[in-house]
Chain A
């Protein structure tokens, strides 16, 4: 695990290479099963984006946008899991999915799994490829406080 000074250095000597290449883009999908052994089947995209946003909502998000910024953090975690896997990235994704489930109307019980689907263009075709699938964890054991 890098120390904080190592993490600070790229900020003090930045590269500024924003969007130099458009890399394959991760989507987090999750499934809840009744047991650790059950194969997940009903994968759902985590926080699918809305079809449309009103100008008013866009304006409000200039000042209050925690959910979207958290989703962007999960994109970073997903990319880190592929480039440089750590338990931290996996834990963060599990915690944030479990927290959403705990806040939702559905009963959050059972075993949670997630997978990372990377979307990319090859010539003119858009391809989706699963590059990571986490081992299931009991929802009751994920700390969401």
Chain B
């Protein structure tokens, strides 16, 4: 038998390989890097991993990341507008919207989008929770902020139909438009096409 890494190293490589975007070569490189630095590198790493795994959960209400100690930064945060709800595909979509500073309402992550070809249906998403929130809440507007691909648009269409049952709630979606700071010559034709279709009156 040729010599191989000792078991703990092999086990680490095995775990690293399971991470998204990490192949066998990268897994080996990361494992060796950690080994060579010893406890000084592995202890805080293990601690952070453990904390992330045990302390962080999905907020029952909005689907964003929450902790026992601090709750959900969105739902429990101060100064939220309780009249608007922004629906997104993934909890990570909430961060860019927050950073924009343009939105102070509540969020709802669906944890995906409808995609029959990948076997994801409405029942796999947090749609029942969404309906419950709108029924019990006082939202005047629901904003659909999905990606501009076929699945994102189909999910929006599906929700528009379902949300039409709520009379007093306005349903909107994000506009398709030109990137800020970019000249027309840098925009692709489809973006321009949609920007033209969704043009805004100035007077």
A associates with B: no
Residues of B within 8 A of A (CB): none
A residues near B (Cβ < 8 Å) are none
